[in-house]
Amino acid sequence: MAPLMIRTVVIFSFFSCIAAAQSCTNASYVGTHFYTLEGTVLSSGTYIPDKQLGRLISDGDGNLTGTATESLNGVINRYNLAGTYTVNPDCSGTSTLNVTPQGGSTGSPSVSSASFQLINGGRQGLIAIATSGAAMAGQEYTAATQCSVGQIAGPYGFLGAGASGGATPPYTTVGVATVDGRGAFSSYNLTLNNNGSVRLSGTGTYTIASDCTGAASLGGGAAANMTLAVTASGTILGLQTDPGSVFLATLQPVSAPSVLSQFAFGGGWYSALYFSNTANDDRSFKVSFFADDGTPLTVPGAGTSTVLTLHGLSSAIIEAPNAGNLSQGYVTVSLPPGVVGYGVVRQTVPNIADQEAVVPLSSASSTKVTLAWDETKYTTAVAIVNPSAVAAKVAVTVTDSTGRSLGTGTVQLAPNTKTAAVLKSLLPNTAAMDGLRGFATFSVTAGNVSVLGLRFNGSAFTSIPTTSN
C-alpha cells in the first residue's frame, strides 16, 4: 500500500485550517462590497425618487470608505464616503457615513445613518437608511475579488425598474442580455412594462476594470448608459447614468457556475477540458483556473482564464500538458444553455501504462454533497473546493453500508480555496473505514462546497462523482 499512498499524496496539497467565528463581530464585515439603495428622499416638501449604486470597503475594525453614484430624480451625483460601523453578536449593525460630493456633483455634504443585517454568512447585507427625510432600503453584496472584461460572458437575465421623470409612468424591464467576453453586448431582448408591454432589442458595449466596477452603453430600443459593479456571485448591478432617468438593474447569469474540483498538470499529470455546443447558434462562456490557495493558476496556452465562443454544433478542448513541475488547482465555468462539458485527468508513471479518468463538473452553489466510497481494497481521496467568497467550515460525516456512523470531521476553507486528502484521514479514527463501504456527506452552513472523489487501486484510479442534496 505504500506506493499507492505516496501517489495519492503527490496529487493533492493540504490547506492550513483557520478558525471560524461563532458569532458576528466587526470582523464579520470586512472587505469590499457593492450596494444598491432605492426609495424616496424629501426635497422642498416633496418626496422624490432616488436610486444609488455604491462601493464600500470595510476594514474589519469598524471603519468604512467608499464611493457612490446616485440618480436623484434624474440628477446624477457622485460621492466619496467615509465613516464607521458596528456589528452586533446577532449580525445586525449600524453605520454612519460622511457623504462628500465629488467634483461636478450638485449634491451637498451630509451625514447618512443606516441599520443593516448581515445574511448568508456575511456574503450579503440588508440595508435601511435611518436618516430623517429618506425612505430608502436595499442590499449589499460581497464584491468579486478581481475582474476583467473577459470575466463577463454569456447570457444574463436582466431585471430593472425605474422612471424617466415628468409625467411618464414608472416602468419595469425584464429579459436577457448576452455579452461576448470581449466588451460587447452581442444582443439584448427585453420587455418593457409601462401601461402595456413593449419589446426592446439592440446591442451595446461594456468595460470592466480590475476593481470590478465598469460601465455599459446600450444602443437600440433600450438606449442607455450605466455604471456597473460585479459581485462575487457573478451578479452584475447597474445604475443608469443618463440625466432624467432613475433606473436600477440587476443582471444574473442564466447558467449556474460549475466547478471541476481537480485540475493538475506537470510532474507526471495531464488535464483536459472538453466542451460541446449542442445548440445551432453561437455560445460564449468563460473558463477560469485557480490554484489551491485561490490565486489565479496559469495554464500554458490558456492563461489564468479564457473565453470560448463555440459556433453552433461545434466543440473545443483546452489542454494542460504534462510538462515541468506539478501544478494543481480547480476550474470554474458557467456553461450557457446547450453547452455540455467534462474534464479528463491522466497520470504518467514510468514503466506503467498511462492511467486516466473522466472528471465531472459539479455545482458551485451546493451546500451539501454526498459521495459513495469503497475501502474494501481501495483508497478514496477527495478534493474539496469552497467556490464562494466567504470562509466555509465543511462538516464531513462518514457512514458505513449498514447506516452506522464511523465518525465526523471538519475542514476549514478560506474563500475560493481548495484542499485535498485521503478521506479516512479526516476522521478521528483513521482506521474506521478499513474493509468497509458506505457514503460520506460534506456540508456547510456558510459558503458553498464542491467535492470530487478519486479511488485508487495500485497504479489505476477512477473518479467518484458526488450528488448535491
157 shares its domain with 134: no
75 domain-assigned? yes
Whether 85 and 108 map to the same domain: the answer is yes
In a domain, 20, yes or no: no
Indicate if the pLDDT at residue 355 is higher than 50.
yes
Where is the domain boundary, 91, 115, 142? 142
Same domain, 231 and 155: yes
Domain extent at residue 221: 149-253
Q: How many structural domains compose the chain?
A: 4
Per residue in 88-99, pLDDT (tens digit) is: 999 999 999 999
Residues 133 and 160 in one domain: no
The three cell numbers locating residue 122: 456575511
Please say if the pLDDT value at position 5 is more than 60. no
> What is the pLDDT confidence band of residue 18, given thresholds at 50, 70 and 90?
very low
- Residue range 222-249: average pLDDT? 93
Mean predicted lDDT score pLDDT of the chain: 89
Coil vs helix vs strand at 249: strand
pTM here is: 0.65
Flag whether 68 is in a domain: yes
pLDDT for 2: 27
What mean pLDDT is predicted for residues 151-171?
82
